[in-house]
Structure 1
Amino acid sequence: MPDIADDAEEWVRSWSASVSEKAAAAQSLSDQVSRVTATASDPEQLVTVTVDGSGCVAGLHLDQRAGRLEMDRLAEVIVRTMRKAQSRLTEQVTSIAEQTVGIDSATGRAVVSSFEVRFPSEPTGTDDER
C-alpha cells in the first residue's frame, strides 16, 4: 500500500524544485533584458542610433553628410532610425525569452508583448528605402 505522506512529500519537493527553476529562468530573463541594446542605421548610413533596453537613446552618430540635410529631414531620419533600433529590441527580447522562460510561458508572453506594444516592427517600404 502506497504511503500517502511519502507521495505528498515527493510532490511538494517536485513542485518546489519546479518553482525554483522557473524563478531562476525569470531572473535570467530579467538580467539579460536589462543589458540588451540595439543599433540601427538609415539606408544611407547618415544616422546611427543605439538604444538601451528601455528604448532610450544611448548613442547617436551623425555622418558628416548628414549636415547637408535640411533640419526637418534630418530629424525625420533620426526618429525613423531610432524606431528601427527599438524594433530590434523586440527581436532580441523574443530570442532571450525563448532561451530562458520559453516563449509560450506566461512570463515570456507578457515580456515579449510589452516590447511589441512599445516598439512595434517598422513597416517596410518607407521613404528611407529609396
Structure 2
Amino acid sequence: MWADDAALDAASRRLDEWESSLADRAERTRALAANVRALTGTAHHPERTVDVTVDSAGQLIDLRLDERIRHQSAARTAEQILETSRAARAELLRQVSALTTDTLGGADASAQAIIDSYRSRLGHDQGQRDAGR
C-alpha cells in the first residue's frame, strides 16, 4: 500500500500530531467547562439600591437591597431588580465570551457556538443596554 517507508513515517507523524491536537483540544474544553461553571455575574443599580449576582446559568443567587428602597414604590423596586438582573446576566455573558475566546480562540466555530448559546439563554438582547453597569 505504501510506496516507501518515508511516506509511511510521514503519515504516522501526521496521525500522531492529529491525535495530540485532539487531546489538547479536549483538555482545553474540559478546563473551559470547569471555569465557566465557576463564573458569576454581578451588577449594581446606578442608584446603588439593588445589587444582583447570578450564577453561571444566569440564575439569581444573591440579591441585596439598600434600606433606601423603603422610600420608593414596590413597582420601582421591582423595576430596579429586573434591570439589575439583566445587567448581571450581561456581565456573565461578557465573562463567558472572554473566557471562551481566550481558551478556544476567537475564530473557533465551537467557541462561537458556546457564546451564541449563552447569548440566547441569557436574553442578551434585553440586557445589552444595561451591560455597562
1:21-63 CA-partner distances (Å, limit 9, x unpaired):
1111111111111000011011100000000000001100000
The yes-or-no answer on 1:56 pairing with 2:59 is yes
The residue aligned with 2:68 is: 65
Alignment of 1:4-43 (within 5 A): 4-43=7-46
CA drift of 1:6 comes to 1.0
Q: For the Cα contact (< 8 Å) 1:89–1:115, is it kept in 2?
A: no
Query: 2:87 touches 2:128 (CA, 8 Å); kept in 1?
Result: no
Q: Say whether the 8 Å CA contact 2:41–2:55 is kept in structure 1.
A: yes
User: Secondary structure at the residue paired with 2:115?
Assistant: helix
* 1:44 counterpart letter in structure 2: E
Mapped partners of 1:80, 1:123: distance in 2 = 10
TM-score (norm 2): 0.87
Q: CA deviation at 1:114?
A: 1.1
Unaligned runs of 5+ in 2: none
User: Is 1:76 matched with 2:79?
Assistant: yes
CA contact (8 A) 1:37 1:50 kept: yes
TM-score, structure 1 as length reference: 0.89
1:118 — aligned with what? Answer: 121
The alignment-based identity, stated in percent, is: 30
Amino acid at match of 2:46: P
